[in-house]
Structure 1
C-alpha cells in the first residue's frame, strides 16, 4: 500500500514540476524561435531590398547624368561656346561675350530641377565661367560657386580631368566634374562641366544610418565617390572591382549590391552594415537566451519548493476529504494543477473591450474630421456602421482652451444629453456638438454657465446648423470667431455675437486703391503692391470687418491681380508662369492665404521686371532686326527652304548673330520658334478640315515624313489622330 502511495506521489510531483517548468520555458522558447525566424527571413528580405535600393540609386544617377549629358550636348552644339574650347585666358574674350556665356549657363541651369549650380572650367588653363561670375579657379570658393577647401581645389588644378569625379560640396550637395568631351583633339583645353546636385536627387532612398553608397569607376579601376566618407576617392579596392553587375555579396559583415548596368563605366554600389541594421535583433536574442537560462535555473529551484508545498496541501486535503491515497489505483488520472485565473481572464477581457472602444472612437473622430475637410461622402449610415448614432440633424462647433480641467469631460457634463466629438485643429481643442435642443434659452444658459464656472479660459462658438454637410461651415464660423477674439482680446464669443459686434458688414476697397495696386503690379514693384494689400486689410480690420468678410476682400484683390495680368502685353504673359491662387474662401487660415497671395505677387513682379529690362532698348538696331525677322517668319513660313541660314542671308548677318539677337528678345531660340509657328498654323488648317498632305506643303515642312515626326514629337499623337479628335469634339 505504501509503495502505491509513493508511486502516485512521484508521478504527480513529476507532472507538476514539468507543467510549471514548461509553462515558464515554452513562451521564452517560442519568442526565441520567433526572433530567429524573423532574423532569418528579414536577412533575406534585406538582401533583396538592398539590391532594389541599388537599382533606385542607379536609376537616379542615370537620370542626373542623362540631364548632364543633354546639357553637354547643348553646349557642344551651340556655336556661341566654340570660342571657349580654344581660348587660353579669359581676358582674350570681351566682357560682353562672357556675360552672354554666363546668361546661357544660367538658362541651362534653369532647364533642370535636379541641377543646383552649373559652371564651365578649364583645369589646364585655370579659369571658370558660372551663371553669375567668371575668373580663375582659385576664386570659385570666394564667389560661392564651388565652396570647397583650398586643398580640394588644388587637386582639381594638379591635373587634367578625363573622367567623372565627385566631391562633397556641402552636407546636402555633391559636385560632379565631367569633361565636355573625351576626345582630346576636340577638347584641347580640357574644358569641363561642373554640376552641383542635391544628394536627395541621387541617394534619397538610402540616406540613413544603415546604408552607404559607393561609385566605382571601371575605366580608372578606382573608387570615385563614397557617400559616408569611409573610403577615399582614388582608392583601389579589388573587392568592389570584382563584383559583377546585378550581384549581391557579403563583404566584411556587410551586404553589398551592385546595379545591373554601367553608367559611363561607373558601378553604383549600395552597402548595408548588417551589424548596425540587425543590432536590435541580436540584442533581443541575447536577452531571450539569458532569460531562458535564468528561468530554467531559478525556475527549477522555485518549482521544486513550490511542488513540495503543494503536495503537503494536497495530502492534507485528501485526508480531510476522507480519501486514502494508499488506495488510489496506479492507472487513475493524476491531478493537474493548471487552473486558469478567473481574475486574469476578466482583466484581459476588460483590456480588450477598452482597446475596441478606443478604436471605434478613433474611427468616429476620423469620420468627423473628413466632414470638417468638406468630404460629403460621410453619411449617417457611415457613422451608424461605426457605432455612432446621430441624435439629430443639429450641429455646432466649439474651439475652447483650458488648463484646469479636461475640456471634453466638462463639455459633456455641460450639455448633458448632447454628444460631444473632439477633433484635431491647429487653433486648439475643437469639438463638434450634436444636440436635440434648438431653443435659444438652452444656449444662453449654457453660455452663462461657462462664464460663471471659470473652467474655460476662452470659447469660440459657431451658429447652430442643420445637416452633416454643414459641419464644415460651422467650423469656419468658429475659426472666424476665434480670429476676431485674438485680434480684440475677447475670451468668450459666439458667431451671432460677432455679427452684432462688428460695426461693418462689408469691406472697403476703393477705386483709387484698386488703380494703385494695378499700377504697382504693372511696374513690377512687388513691395509696394504687398504694402497696398496689407494696408487695406489692416484698415478694414480696424473698422470691425469680420474675418469671413476679410476673406472676401482678399478674394476681390486677387481678382484685381488676375485682371492686371490679363491686361498685360503678350510679351509679359508669355513669361509669367501659370498662377494658381490658394482656396481663399474655403481656407481655414487667413494668414496663410495672405502669404500665398504675396508669394504670387513676388513671382509676377519678378517676371515683369525681368521682361521690362529686356525691352528697354526697343529703339535699338538689334530690336528692329528682331521685329523684321519675326515678320519675315510669319510671311514666309510656308516656304520649305526657309531656315535659320536663309534668314541670316536675307538680312546680311551671320547665323550666330541672328541666333543671339532672337534669343535676347524671345523665350526660345529661332529654330524652335520656326517649328512652333509652323505647327500652330498646321493645327489651324487641320481644324479647318484640310488634308494632311496639303498641310505639309502649306506650312513648309518639306516632306510628309518630317511633318509626321515633328508633329508626333510635340503633340504626342499623329496629325490624323489630331484631326479625328477635333472632328469628334465638333
Structure 2
C-alpha cells in the first residue's frame, strides 16, 4: 500500500495529468457559475428563442393553410360558371345545370383541403347559396343558416365584409369556433357586390396540430381580441389583449392575477392574426435553487476524479523509456541474452493506447463539429461567427467565399448488396458500414478535388463545397458527382439521390442553402424514377402556363376517365390514367403543393368511380379491395402509377368477370332495341319499360346491376359512337345530331363533351390533325 500511493513530487506526468483534468473540469464549472449569476438573462433569451422557434413552425404550417384558402378564393372568383350565376335573379333549368357543375367543381377543390369543412358562395342578385354539396334558393336558405345555429339575417351579417377579403369568427352553442374566410366578387366597376365566397374552417381542425400544454397556452388573437386556442388552458383569456403584443423581437412579461407569465408572438403574413404563446415564468425558473447545489457537487466530483485519473495514468505510463532502460540495465549482468519480448510487448501496448486515445479524440471532435453545424441549421444556435470559425478551423472551408450545399440520401437502401441475407441484429452495424463506404467514395472523388467537408444531419449526409460560378458552369462537378452515383449503383446496388443548392456567398445563407438542397431531395422523391438522381435547385424550376389552365384540363380529363370506366373501356381507361399522370403534373419545385393537391384530386376521382361502380353493387368486394387506404400510401408519381394501375387492373378484372355472367333475355332485348332505334329522338327508359311491360324503376336499377351502366348512359354512348363515325365521314355537327336522335346540335355538343371531355368539333379537328401528321 505504501508503494501504491507513493508519488514523486517532481513527477511531471502526474502533475500534467492532474492539471489537464482540473482545467477540463474547471471549464464547465466556470460556465455553470456564469450561468448561475446570469441565469435570468440567459433563460429569458432561451425562452424567447424556444418560443419563437415553436411559433415560427406553427406560423409556417398555419400560414400555408391561409395561403391555400386565399388561392381557393381567387380561383373560385375567376370561375366562368360563377360569373354567369352572379347575374341571374332566378334559376332556370339551364342555370340549375350550371349551378350543379359549379357545385361539383367546388366539391373537388374542397376535397383537396383537409382542414376545410365547407365552401359556399352567396349570390346577392338571387339571394341564394351554393355550397360544395347543395343549392339553397332564396326561399330555403334559412335552412343553410340553421346548420350554423344562425338565422338568415345573422348569417348575412357574418359573411359581410367591406373589404375585398376578410374573415369572421363564429361560435355555436357549444362554444366551438369556426373561421369564415370571405372574398367578395364585384361588378366591373367595383361598385356593386355580386357574390361572397366563404371558406369554412372549423378551429378544431387547426387546433389538432397544436400541442396541448399543461402550463400555459398557445393561441391566435386578432385586433378584435378574439382568441382561438385551447379552452382547457389555465390562462384566463380576459386578461389577454392584442395590443400587449407590440415587439416581436422581445420577450414580453405580464402578470395575470398572482402569476407572472412570459409571452412571445409571431405575426401572420395573412390577415391580422398573431400566433402567441403564454407560459408561467416559474415553469422555467424552478430549477434555480438546485443549481448552486449542483455546482458544489460538480466541484467535489471533478476534484476527486482528477486525482484518481491522474494517479492511474501516471502510474500506468510513468516514464516508459526510463523503465525500458532499467530493464536493460538489470539484464546486462545476466549470463544469458537479453529477452526483448517484454520490451516489444510494452512498446506495442504503448503505441496501441496512444492510437486509441487519438481515435477517441478525433471522434469527439467530429461529433462536436456536427453538433455545431446541425445546431445552426435547426436554429438552436444563431451565432454566425461561431459557425464560420468552427467550419474554417476544422475543414478550411470559408462561408464568405462562394459555396453550395448538397443533401445526400439513400433512395432504396434495402436493395443494397450489403443488406442481402443479414439478420435484424446486424442491420445497425451494416448501416454504419454503408455510411462509411458512401462517405469514403465521395471524399475520394469529390473532396479530393474541391475544398469542402462532409457531415450528417437528420439521417442524411450534408456536403458543403467552396466553388465558383466558372467551375460550376464547366460541368466538371456534375460529371464527378454522377461518377459517384454510378459507383454506388454498380458496387453496392444502391440508388443515391443528391440535391444541390444555388451558389451562396454569405454565412447567413447557410440554413437557406441547406433548405434548398433538402427541397430538391423532396422533389426527386415525388417524381421518383422520372427525375435525375442529381439535380441543382435551379434545374427544378421551369416555365409553365397558368396553374388554373392545368386544373381545368385535369377536371376535363377526370370526367373522361370516369366515363371510360362506366363505358367498360377498361384498356383505354388504363392508358388514359397513365396519360394523366404523365401530363398533368408540373415539374417545378415551387408547385409541389399544387402537385400534391392534384394527386389527391385524381385519387378522389378514381375512388369515386370505383365506389359508384363497385361499392354499390358489390360492397363486400369493395371493402376487401380497400382502394382509398392503398392509394393514400402513394408518395410519388411512380408509386401512384403503380398502386392505381394495380387497383384498376384488379377492379376491371373483377368487373369483367361480373359482367360476363349470364343475364336475363329482357336485358339483351333492351340492348338490341337501342342498337336498332338509337336515332329515335323520343327513345328513353320509359319507352323501353313500356315495351317490356315492366316497372320503370326496376328496369333501370336491374339493368345497371347486370351491365355496369344505366340505360340512359347506354343510349348516349351508342349515339356518340355513331356520331364519331359520321363526323369522320364528313358530316357537320348539326347533320350528325339530327341523324342520331338529338333535336339540335347544342344537345349533342353538351352530351359529347360530358362523355368524351371534348366537343364534337374538337374531336373532328384532332382527327384531321393526326391524318395530316401521318401524311
| Same fold per superposition (TM over 0.5) | no
- Normalised TM-score (structure 2): 0.36
Normalised TM-score (structure 1): 0.37
